[in-house]
């Protein structure tokens, strides 16, 4: 699609020569793009470029009757303007004012002020950097153990130089969060295999009802039942994030009705996201051997490496807001009660904001990326994600000298998450 042939959205069509004081608006470019097409989900970056370059801060996608923002400034403005871009109608394609949600709406994700405030404040304390220090040493130990176990388990088929081959998704990215997070929440041991399928479904369910959603409808019921059963006080150990949530109810920071749904938020948002985040950083390190060598020389770069991988990969690619009134983005006026799709991954590679945006560059400052969102809903679990990734990377650089691909990585397709089903790697032990 070229910018010369842009057509303008009929619904917000205020003529460009409109002389109303203060409000020079044009309608949004209309693009024939399907962000949830499986080919696009597997390789979204060419479409992101078309969205950013279409000739405005916002575009209209008739395929879903939605507006979309992909430039950094527009994505950030939309994220930060919670008053005009609401979460309470759902942050997926479904508008909760018109359609019944697939589950009780989240008190954190799918709520606006003032309902959002107490759950958010409670969870902010529980998952804050200060509280997480309690988990630091144990999580680092677990990472070291995981790497030792991995190296041991593959000794039998190690090559002459000691290097070994395995799939880093199933043996690192999925193993580590499941070794530390359920325990930190205070979940019982049985049924933990429901966590990844639950997250996978929830993130697909933010998109349209395509095959990725409908193929799971037969099996998701029992998974949802298990998740529901883990949320009451009796199912959780006293110590841990889950117990802390119930303690917040005892202190009347939140109500007893709110507590189980806030536990459910941890189970929805806390596992797949970190699995994808760890895969993202492993992918970029395996793709950039010189940067991995540099990281081993300068271990203080661990945190930056993770942020740069999040910027480039943006495991959570998209979610929506809904306009609360007629509102302007750039020089376009959007009607009330319209879904707006925010492309975090496109913002994080916008050349208007980032030099050489597609390069994995340890010399840049990746802060300001929107992979965790921005504003009042910015990821409340971001310190958990960072701690998990740092522990994995610290353990890795100590024991592994070289990381390389043995075969091309395989994409995992999800309506919201960008990541990998398989990362076939070879590790050369240090």
- Report whether 37 contacts 61 (CB < 8 A): no
For residues 395 and 417, give the distance between their C-alpha atoms in angstroms, rounded to a whole number: 26
Work out whether 276 is an interface residue with ligand QZP (CB under 6 A).
no
Residues 299-328 interacting with ligand QZP (rule: CB under 6 A): 316, 319
Strand partners, 413: 418
Sign of CA dihedral 99, 104, 108, 112: positive
Site for ligand QZP in 343-402 (CB under 6 A): none
Q: Does 173 bind ligand QZP (CB under 6 A)?
A: no
Min separation Cβ 366 and ligand QZP, Å: 18
Cβ proximity to ligand QZP, 103 vs 353, nearer residue: 103
Segment contacting ligand QZP (CB under 6 A): 152-160, 265-273, 283-291, 362-370? Answer: 265-273
Q: Measured from the CB of residue 120, what is the shortest distance to ligand QZP in angstroms? A: 10
Q: Determine the interface stretch with ligand QZP among 146-154, 225-233, 264-272, 356-364 (rule: CB under 6 A).
A: 264-272
Going by C-alpha positions, the residue among 241, 313, 295 that lies closest to residue 403 is 295
Q: Judged by CB under 6 A, which of 27, 86, 87, 106 binds ligand QZP?
A: 106
Shortest Cβ 267–ligand QZP spacing (Å): 8
Residue 87 engages ligand QZP in binding (rule: CB under 6 A): no
**Out of 147, 263, 269, 301, the residue judged to bind ligand QZP by CB under 6 A:** 269
Q: Rounded to the nearest whole angstrom, what is the least distance from the CB of residue 316 to ligand QZP in the complex?
A: 4
Token couple for 68: 């979309």
Nearest to 420 by CA among 403, 407, 429: 407
Can residue 89 be called a binding residue for ligand QZP (CB under 6 A)? no
Q: Which of 78, 173, 268, 288 binds ligand QZP (CB under 6 A)?
A: 268
Residues in contact with ligand QZP, total (CB under 6 A)? 9
The binding site for ligand QZP (CB under 6 A) comprises: 91, 106, 108-109, 265, 268-269, 316, 319
């Amino acid at each position: 699609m070229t910018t010369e042939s842009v057509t303008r959205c009929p619904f917000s069509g205020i003529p460009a020569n409109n002389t109303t004081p203060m409000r020079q608006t044009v309608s949004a470019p209309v693009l024939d793009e399907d962000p949830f097409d499986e080919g696009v989900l597997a390789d979204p970056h060419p479409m992101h470029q078309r969205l950013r370059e279409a000739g405005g801060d916002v575009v209209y996608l008739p395929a879903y009757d939605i507006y979309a923002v992909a430039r950094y400034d527009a994505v950030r403005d939309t994220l930060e303007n919670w008053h005009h871009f609401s979460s309470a109608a759902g942050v997926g394609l479904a508008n909760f004012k018109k359609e019944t949600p697939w589950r009780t709406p989240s008190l954190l994700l799918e709520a606006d002020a003032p309902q959002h405030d107490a759950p958010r404040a409670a969870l902010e304390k529980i998952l804050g950097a200060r509280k997480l220090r309690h988990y630091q040493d144990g999580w680092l130990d677990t990472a070291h153990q995981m790497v030792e176990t991995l190296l041991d388990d593959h000794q039998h088929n190690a090559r002459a130089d000691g290097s070994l081959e395995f799939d880093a998704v199933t043996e690192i990215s999925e193993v580590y969060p499941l070794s530390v997070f359920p325990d930190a929440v205070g979940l019982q041991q049985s049924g933990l295999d429901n966590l990844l399928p639950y997250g996978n479904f929830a993130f697909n369910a933010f998109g349209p009802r395509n095959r990725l959603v409908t193929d799971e409808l037969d099996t998701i019921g029992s998974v949802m039942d298990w998740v529901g059963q883990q949320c009451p006080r009796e199912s959780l150990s006293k110590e841990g994030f889950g117990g802390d949530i119930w303690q917040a109810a005892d202190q009347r920071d939140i109500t007893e009705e709110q507590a189980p749904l806030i536990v459910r938020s941890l189970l929805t948002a806390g596992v797949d996201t970190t699995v994808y985040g760890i895969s993202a950083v492993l992918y970029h390190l395996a793709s950039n051997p010189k940067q991995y060598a540099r990281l081993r020389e300068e271990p203080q770069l661990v945190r930056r490496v993770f942020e740069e991988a999040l910027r480039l990969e943006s495991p959570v690619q998209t979610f929506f807001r809904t306009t609360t009134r007629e509102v302007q983005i750039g020089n376009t006026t959007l009607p009330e009660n319209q879904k707006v799709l925010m492309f975090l991954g496109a913002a994080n590679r916008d050349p208007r904001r980032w030099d050489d945006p597609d390069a994995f560059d340890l010399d840049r400052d990746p802060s300001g990326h929107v992979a965790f969102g921005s504003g009042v809903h910015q990821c409340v679990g971001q310190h958990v994600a960072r701690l998990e990734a740092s522990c994995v990377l610290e353990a890795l650089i100590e024991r592994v000298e070289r990381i390389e691909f043995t075969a091309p990585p395989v994409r995992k397709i999800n309506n919201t998450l960008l990541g990998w089903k398989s990362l076939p790697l070879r590790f050369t032990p240090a």
